[in-house]
Amino acid sequence: MLFNSFHYLLFLLFVIFIVEALRRRNGQHLVLLLASYYFYWTSSASLVLLLLYSSYLDFFCGRAIHRAQNPRQKRMYLCFSLIGNLGVLAYFKYTNFALGSFRALFNAIGWKSRLGPLEICLPIGISFYTFQSMSYSLDIYFGKLLPVSSLRQFALYVSFFPQLVAGPIVRARQFLPQLLNPVVIHWENLKLGLTLILYGLIKKVCIADNLSAFVQSIFGGELTSDSLLVFVGAVAFAIQIYCDFSGYSDIAIGSARILGFKFPNNFAHPYFASSISEFWKRWHISLSTWLRDYLYIPLGGNQKGKGRQLLNLMVTMLLGGLWHGAAWHFVLWGLYQGVLLCVHKFVVADRRFLAHSWWLPLKVLITFYLTCIGWLIFITPDLQNLSLYLRKVCFLDFTTTGVADLIHRQPFVLFLMGVFFVVHTISYLVDGLSRIFSQLGLALWAAGVFVCLMILYLLAAGQQSFIYFQF
């Protein structure tokens, strides 16, 4: 079930109506749990059992870790959780990638291989809910959380429909305490939630979906050698993937807020980052903090010398790239991000003259340019094409003739890109714009909602899936 569909609107209204009609907390939680399973069933009917599996596994592993009498037993039960979760994730997501890599290796050394791809259906959202469920066992192991006594509540935490498919990845210690009170639909939460949903829908269907055809024509069609098109296409994809993914997060956070649940913010104006380190504090915050807390810090973080810190950064970003997809270009994207982080931390960060405020605009532009190069790696699976695109972007050779031709052929695309940067700048300068809008008087707020609905009606590009559903 897509957030940008009429089906989801009816579904959400039905859930709100039923939950508001019930007054008992347990009944409300049961309705939300059944609604969440139905939500996932509409996308992956035969794979709902995986949600049940993850819920049962980490619920019982969490209790076992807490009750264990010694550290050895705690580690054993934690290993059960990690192997059980990562094993399923590896099978569904990385089996064919591994088989293809081995087949290519055997063919390269002259061995004939009969390894072929298996018919494996990738469950939607498995990377998200697996990490979310695993964090529960890890938090109990590290002493940050006590196990919950109700399997129903834990299953609701794992499968709660707003963030089930594409995040944000919510920690158990953020979500479970909110289940202690009955669900109450407050007017303030309703206004803020609807505001976030409309904002997310505009980003998704009016900007991201309208840019997708242009991006696809450049990177999904015939190979182009026009540097200007490659560069503008990379910028367009940077806007598309941000509006697509942050739009999903806004709708998820807004849907949960209507029901009284507070989710952490997942984006914080990432294209205003002045360094790649700051970018990862602003982009997909729930994943970057998950990797930091459960991978980078347990590996030693920055506590074991610069050499070890460099290795930890590279391993973390490499696995972060692989988390996004089972393909070599995602591995390269992760390595690229790791190299940028290492260069910033060990070469650039300590340069005092760069700390002056007058360098800030230049640092923002350079960071955005480096990020767009990363998005080229992200979107281009063919390594030969990628090599050409990188040469074109790093050594620009377009002329003013190309600029005029681009303006003539793609005026609407350029208009949307300009609108995005204007709105992105305003929302950066006026932090919390959605909250401010939701706090307007009823008449002004309703007028704003009407304007948003008109924008959706006039500019909606049809119903397209979200990019991060493939991860």
Using one digit for the tens of pLDDT, what is the confidence trace for 114-130? 767 777 777 888 888 89
Q: Is the pLDDT of residue 420 over 80?
A: yes
Q: How many CB atoms lie within 10 A of CB 129?
A: 27
Residue 394 lies in a domain: yes
Q: For 188-198, give one letter per residue: b (16+ CB within 10 A) or e.
A: ebbbbbbbbbb
**Residue 355 pLDDT:** 64
Residues 265 and 135 in one domain: no
3-state DSSP of 368-387: HHHHHHHHHHHHCCCHHHHH
Span of 55-59, 176-180, 253-257, 464-468 with lowest mean pLDDT: 464-468
Domain count, the chain: 2
CB of 265 closer than 8 Å to CB of 285: yes
pLDDT for position 103: 78
Which of 29, 186, 269, 324 is catalytic? The answer is: 324
Tens digit of each residue's pLDDT (9 = 90 or more) over 23-39: 888 899 999 999 999 98
Tally of CB atoms within 10 A around 318:
18
* Last residue in a domain, options 184, 217, 252: 184
Angle between helices 151-159 and 25-41 (to 10 degrees): 40
Please indicate, yes or no, if residue 321 is contained in any of the structural domains: no
Residues 163 and 195 in one domain: no
Do 161 and 249 belong to one domain? Answer: no
Q: Is residue 301 part of a domain?
A: no
Domain for residue 22, yes or no? yes
User: Residue for token digits 């980052």?
Assistant: 273
Whether the per-residue pLDDT at 414 is higher than 70: the answer is yes
Type of residue numbered 383: L
Of 184, 207, 237, which closes a domain? 184
Cα 10 from Cα 433, distance rounded (Å): 27
Say yes or no: 13 and 98 in one domain.
yes
CA distance 360 to 367: 10
Residues 355 and 233 in one domain: yes
- pLDDT tier for residue 376 given thresholds of 50, 70 and 90: very high
**Same structural domain for residues 373 and 439?**
yes
- Asked if 176 and 194 sit in the same domain, the reply is no
pLDDT at position 400: 55
> Do 135 and 195 fall into the same domain?
no
Whether 213 shows a pLDDT value over 80: the answer reads yes
The residue from 169, 184, 199 where one domain ends is: 184
Asked whether residue 353 is domain-assigned, the answer is: yes
Do both 232 and 376 map to the same domain? Answer: yes
Identify whether residues 35 and 51 lie together within a single domain. yes
Asked if 240 and 101 sit in the same domain, the reply is: no
**Mean pLDDT on 402-412:** 77
Lowest mean pLDDT among 106-115, 172-181, 417-426: 106-115
Residue 403 has pLDDT above 80, yes or no: no
pLDDT digits (tens, 9 = 90+) for 300-359: 888 887 888 889 999 999 999 988 888 889 999 999 999 999 888 887 666 665 666 777
Share of the chain above pLDDT 90, in %: 47
Domain-embedded: residue 333: no
Structure tokens at 230: 């490659």
- Residue-number span of the structural domain to which 396 is assigned: 188-275+349-470
| 29 is annotated as an active-site residue | no
pLDDT of res. 46? 66
Question: Do residue 75 and residue 162 come from a single domain?
Answer: yes
| Closest C-alpha to 392, from 247, 223, 260 | 223
Answer yes or no: pTM beyond 0.85. yes
